[in-house]
Amino acid sequence: MGQKVIATARNIERIRDIEQAGAAVMTVDVTWSPEKLKEATENAIKIYGRVDYLINNAGRVYTFLIEGALLINVFGVLNVTRSFLPHFRERRSGGIVIISSLSSRQQYPGIAIYAATKAAVSRIGEGLKDEVEPLGIKVLTIDLGHSRTPALKPDTNLKRAAQVIPDYTPLNEWFDDLRERTAGNEPNDPKLGVLRIIETITQSGMAADRKVPARIILGADGKEPLVKRCQDTLEQIEEWSDYFVGSKVATSIALAA
């Protein structure tokens, strides 16, 4: 599509193939200090003279290490975004994409920590859009479905907690079985996913003549859970409608004699 790309990774050797395809590459760790990220941002801007779109795609599927999950999945997104906002504000243009997850809407046992980090950045993205859209800056949050990447391969990505509570053995076994059945059989093509994201933030292709949404699901496995979640919410509203107003401040009218 003609875009000029700056790809970043903690280990730059892992993205040499992207460099060979024509992209510029940089070593960046989203857990760096804000000062170091600001320096990396300035160096990135110098490569092509400007940056039009920031894609926040770094993340780890931690299921047990709360601090690590928050540091990468939440604070990493916040700090990298903050480092680019002055550039976008000065130009009164630009776009920010936050890659979240379908798990931010649909909970699975065993990944509550990961899902919480993704729910956090999804809401951050929605709020940020309201704050910077008047400045000409677009913000798009993608709740991504399962894509066919190495993310679930145990030989490269699986790390276990040092201690496992015996009571949770059935849950761990269920999760391992789910991962084994899912790995390599994910329903979504990551290359097509990237294309759809580019089209959405640039309002082209399938997203031509459409307003950039604050938040949207991307994935063949996303529509059905979203519809069910909406239906469940509507049913709860109907069933508990009297409860919702159960804490309303009582009002009274005193009439003078």
pLDDT of amino acid 183: 81
Query: Lowest-confidence range among 55-64, 93-102, 118-127, 208-217?
Result: 55-64
pLDDT of amino acid 64: 57
Report strand pairing: 215-218 vs 138-144. parallel
Q: Considering the entire predicted model, what is its pTM?
A: 0.89
CA–CA gap between residue 54 and residue 60 (Å, rounded): 19
pLDDT of amino acid 149: 81
CA atoms lying within 13 Å on the CB side of residue 83:
27
> Is the distance from CB of 201 to CB of 97 less than 8 angstroms?
yes
Q: Is 63 a residue whose pLDDT tops 60?
A: no
pLDDT of amino acid 111: 83
Q: Is 157 a residue whose pLDDT tops 70?
A: no
Token output for 139: 């913000």
pLDDT (average), residues 159-178: 83
Please tell us whether the domain made up of 6-149+186-240 is placed in CATH 3.40.50.720: yes
Q: Percent of the chain scored above 90 by pLDDT? A: 68
CB count in 10 Å sphere of residue 99: 22
pLDDT of amino acid 252: 66
pLDDT of amino acid 236: 97
**Which helix (H) or strand (E) is 209 found in, with range?**
none
Whether the CA torsion 169, 175, 179, 180 is positive or negative: it is: positive
Tell me what the pLDDT averaged over the chain comes to.
91
Q: Is 56 a residue whose pLDDT tops 70?
A: yes
How does residue 253 score in pLDDT terms, banded at 50, 70 and 90?
low
Q: Is 106 a residue whose pLDDT tops 90?
A: no
Annotated domain spans of the chain: 6-149+186-240
Q: Is the model more confident about 62 or about 16?
A: 16
Q: Is 14 a residue whose pLDDT tops 90?
A: yes
Residues forming the active site:
100, 114, 118
pLDDT of amino acid 158: 64
